[in-house]
Amino acid sequence: MKIDYLKLEKKINFKFKNRNLLIKSLTHKSFDKINNNEKIEFLGDRVLGLIIAKKLLEIYPDEKEGILDKKYASLVNKKTCLEIAKSVNLQNYISVFNPKNKSVIIEDKVISDSCEALIGAIYLDRGFNFTEKIILNLWKEKIKESVITQVDAKTKLQEFSLKKFKKLPIYKTISDTGPRHKPIFRVAVKLQNTKFYNGDGKSKKEAEQNAALFCLNDNLTL
């Protein structure tokens, strides 16, 4: 069955100067033991990592390394590559061993690896700037979603307190009011040499988060 690579180029909005690079990037070793995508995948993995790391530093110039690490990992892992690949139906363009020329189900790992190989092929064909443009377009929504991996206020307050005072924040429950099915919790938190900051919530955990946020906002410039 002939593969329509032009259709894929339209999906990713990129036309290869050297179509052989595209074909090689989507050729699994089971199909061709010599001219396959293993080495080009190795390159693509590194190129993807560099571009995502560069973008995260641009978006979050003042963020801590630990948080950037979490965001980075969520954007370059195999699961994300698989989702990006399937968003352009990459599985329809991969050549695998298929002697009877029947419809085959391609393994997820093969698809995600091929996504990285495709990135490597784009880099070899046109260089860094073109590759960066393609990746940031394909990963646009994933980069927006990366905010989910941010560390919560309570964790940030703990890190701040340990760094500044070498002590943990002190939390205490002030009240638990309202009906059993709809309680309202009030929790207070303080750092060394600060007042208590109150936070309310539908759960004790939520109240602690809100109290930590108030405390952070008032003390980060200490």
Catalogue the active-site residues: 45, 116
Question: Contact 16/125 with Cβ under 8 angstroms?
Answer: yes
Closest CA to 53 of 69, 77, 40, 67: 69
Question: Contact 97/33 with Cβ under 8 angstroms?
Answer: no
What phi, psi does 148 have (nearest 5°)?
-60, -30
Q: Which helix (H) or strand (E) holds 38?
A: helix 38-59
Sheet holding 170-177, edge to edge: 170-177, 184-190, 197-201
